[in-house]
Amino acid sequence: MQTIEERDIGGVLVRIDRTLCVAFELCIDLAPDVFRFDDEGIVTFTGAGEVPDRARLLEACRACPVDALTVVDEEGRQIVP
């Protein structure tokens, strides 16, 4: 599997750096419709096509204590972390 995963979710680009993820699970607790663990115990995106509430998505990404999740807004600015 690749080390960086990206997905456009509700107009923002969310990146998962799989090399940084240490499976705290905070992102999954806050946005289970977006994030899940894969077979290796590393966070990945769910297959769900639903767009979560943006505030909840950003909160889930900010909760990562090792900054494995990055969010870039519509204008290309990094807003998380």
pTM score: 0.93
Specify the pLDDT at position 57: 96
Length of the chain: 81
Instruction: Decide: helix, strand or coil at residue 62.
Output: helix
Please say whether the beta carbons of 26 and 39 come within 8 A. Answer: no
Instruction: Decide: helix, strand or coil at residue 7.
Output: strand
- The residues that bridge with 43 in the sheet, in sequence order, are 37
Specify the pLDDT at position 1: 64
Sheet with 4-9: list strands edge to edge: 4-9, 12-17, 69-72, 78-80
64: containing domain: 4-80
Q: CATH no. for residue 71?
A: 3.30.70.20
Per-position pLDDT tens, the chain of length 81: 689 999 999 899 999 999 999 999 999 999 999 999 999 999 999 987 777 889 999 999 999 999 999 999 999 999 999
**Strand extents, DSSP E, 18-68:** 35-37, 43-45
- Indicate the number of domains in the chain: 1
